[in-house]
Each structure stands twice: as structure tokens, then as C-alpha cells.
Amino acid sequence: MHVPDGMINLPVSAAAGVVAAGAVAVSLRGARRELGDGPLAEGHGAERTAPLAGLVAAFVFAVQMLNFPVAAGTSGHLLGGALAAILVGPFTGVLCIAVVLLMQGILFADGGLTALGVNITVMGVVTVIVSYSIFRGLLRILPRKRRSVTVSAFVAALVSVPAAAAAFTLLYAIGETTDIPIGKVLTAMVGVHVLIGIGEAAITALTVGAVIAVRPDLVHGALGLAAPLKLRVDGELVDAPAPSPAPAASVSARSPRRLLVAGIGTALLLAGVVSFYASANPDGLEKVAADKGFDEKVDEHAHAAADSPLADYGIENISNTRLSGGLAGVIGVGATVVVGSGIFYVVHRRRTTVSTSAGSPGASPERA
């Protein structure tokens, strides 16, 4: 659902850019809490939390390359807002999607640069807010089990995609560049993105379930989920005594290194190899825009990054399509994880600096 330049007029694109910038600013502040208060951050620092968030961004980038068929002549791909929010938190999740969209726009000419604010708002902010609200709401009423996290992730991701499609339609209704009945656009956009949402939900639930199976302590949405252990005493259930805190050595031993290596390896495999077999059909937005005729003002060749050596997910001067696309995908994963981890490291270090300054003698208190 990458909105290209020219599909929405400049005033609305600029307004969406302001909204996106505000959302990123708020997310930077919120991410300092998410990256600083997680179980891995206690005594471990950004050298562990930042790469985990960077991995999520890289994984979303890789899976977005895997368009899957959803209807005749139409494909879809992961948006990733629900997945990122559940794995690393909603604020960090918005930043993950923003990093992915920035890399795609600058390096691969995927999604307009003047429409970057529109894309971050629709694919990042809307999907995260909708999905995480539904996810937390479902966890309050479902049994406190790991399976509930997976089920909630499925439903949250499923709803987030047509919600993003509706949000795009609202922006298009305000900033349309062609005279197309909005009702028809809304019906077509939501209809096809409900189908895409099913694929998004399956990918999200499978990924969250896989991480929970091996490291539930790394899933932000599952923190504090375990119900207190009960013991039956004289026929009555009572709370079991709280276990003794794990020694520092034990906590340190639970390094996420294996998960990081496995995650990066999986992302490289998906982007470098599996992406070759992705559907070549236009995605939901492209198909609806072509069918309804509101892509008339779109000129892909006018993209500011159209001359990038990685434009259209291929490497210039490499004629072998499989090799060209695979190398471009690998470069994209590498760039995303490096940029993402670097940003999250700075965010975490900023929190640490603020906390240290606030706690030093004579320092005035400052909210992180």
C-alpha cells in the first residue's frame, strides 16, 4: 500500500507529513520507555534492546518484499504495524515502520518521497494504533495464556489492514487529484484489503507464536501475561510463594544473541532468495487505482530516487534478475538493521543520559 507521488495532492501530503512527524516525535519519547524498561534492558543496555528493535524493522522490510496473491490479478504484502507493535511495543513499532518506509523510499524508489508522511501515517501510525488497541483489549478478556497472545495478534493484524485502507481513502477524499466517486474507492480499497489482512494476520500470528515459543520474555505484548501460580491447600486455591529473583548470571545467560542471529538469517533468506518467487501482480492499492482511474497523475519515473542503483529492488548493470533482486534485498535488510539499530541505540542512550542527569546531585528532575 505504498502511496506514490502525485496520487494525493501536495497540501494534504504536507499535512500528513506534519502528522507523521508529530507521531514520530511522540514515538521517540515513548520508545525510550519501551527500550529502557524491558526485561532485557535491566542492566544490559542498548547493546541488546536496540538490535532487537532493529531486527524487527529488518524483518518487516524483508517480508514486505514477499507479495502474495489474494485475488485475480491482485497481490498483497505485509504492512507490519501489528507485528512490530506486539513484538517491541507500539511506540517502537511506529519507529520500525518509519525506518522501513524511509529505506524503501530513498534506496528503492518504493513509495513517494512527497508521500512519505502519508505512508507513515497510514501504514505505521494507523496500523499500530488500531492493532495494538485491539490486541490489548482482547488480552483483557481472554484467558491469560500464550495462545491468547497469538489469537489476539491474528485478530489485531486482520483488522489493521482494512483500517489502513479506510485511512488512505479518507486522505484521498480530502486530497484527491482525479474526480473519482469516493464511495467506490472506499468499497474497493476495504474489500481487497480485507483479503490482504488475512495474509497479514497469518504472518503476524505465526511470527509472534514462533518468538513466544522460544523467548516469551522478548515479546512486549506478552510481558506480565503469566497468571500467578496457584496451590491447593486444604481444598482451597491460594497464591504460591513468589520465586526468588534470578541471579545476575542467570539473567545475563539469557542473551538474545541466538534469536538475533536466527532472525537476521531468516530476513536475509526471505529478501535474498524467497522474494524471487513473490507474486508479480500489482498490490491492492495499485490494482484499485488502475481499475478506478485515480493513478492518472502518478509518474513513477519522476520519483526523486528513480535513478538509485537499487531502484525497483534490483541492482543496476546486473542482468541476472534473480541475482539482482536477491542482492538488492540483502542490501536492504542490511541497511535497515544498521539504520534501525543505530536509531534505537541513540534513543536508548538518550534515556540513559537523561536518567543519569536527573539522578545526579544538584540536578533538576527531568522526565524521560
The answer to whether 212 and 146 have CB atoms below 8 angstroms apart is yes
Residue 254's pLDDT is 64
Instruction: Kindly state the percentage of the chain with pLDDT values over 90.
Output: 67
Q: H-helix or E-strand containing 230?
A: strand 230-233
Residue 167 lies in a domain: yes
Task: Give pLDDT < 70 ranges for the chain.
Answer: 36-48, 225-254, 350-368
Q: For residue 340, which of 260, 223, 252 has the smallest C-alpha distance?
A: 260
The bridge status of strand 68-71 relative to strand 236-239 is unpaired
Residue 247 lies in a domain: no
The residue whose grid cell reads 508522511 is 117
Residue 34 lies in a domain: yes
Q: H-helix or E-strand containing 68?
A: strand 68-71
Count the alpha carbons within 13 Å of 54 in the hemisphere toward its beta carbon: 27
Task: Please give the Cα distance from 204 to 32 (Å, whole number).
Answer: 24
Residue 47's pLDDT is 52
**What are 5-50's pLDDT values in tens digits?**
989 999 999 999 999 999 999 999 999 888 864 444 433 444 567 7
Q: Tell me how many domains the chain contains.
A: 1
The answer to whether 163 and 41 have CB atoms below 8 angstroms apart is no
Task: Please give the Cα distance from 28 to 22 (Å, whole number).
Answer: 10
Task: Please give the Cα distance from 336 to 90 (Å, whole number).
Answer: 19
Distances (CA, A) of 89 to 49, 67, 346: 12, 25, 17
Q: H-helix or E-strand containing 237?
A: strand 236-239
Residue 124's pLDDT is 97
Residue 244 lies in a domain: no
Range of the domain at 161: 10-226+255-359
Annotate 346-362 with DSSP letters as a single string.
Answer: HHHHHHHHHHHHHHSTT
Residue 243 lies in a domain: no
Cell of 117: 508522511
The answer to whether 164 and 131 have CB atoms below 8 angstroms apart is no
The answer to whether 303 and 4 have CB atoms below 8 angstroms apart is yes
Task: Please give the Cα distance from 100 to 248 (Å, whole number).
Answer: 35
Q: What angle, 0 to 180 degrees and rounded to 10, lies between the N-to-C axes of helices 146-175 and 182-214?
A: 150
Residue 28 lies in a domain: yes
**Radius of gyration (C-alpha) of the chain in whole angstroms:** 22
Residue 144's pLDDT is 84
Task: Please give the Cα distance from 8 to 14 (Å, whole number).
Answer: 10
The pTM assigned to this predicted structure is 0.87
Give the CATH number of the domain where residue 63 resides: 1.10.1760.20
Residue 239 lies in a domain: no
Cell of 256: 538474545
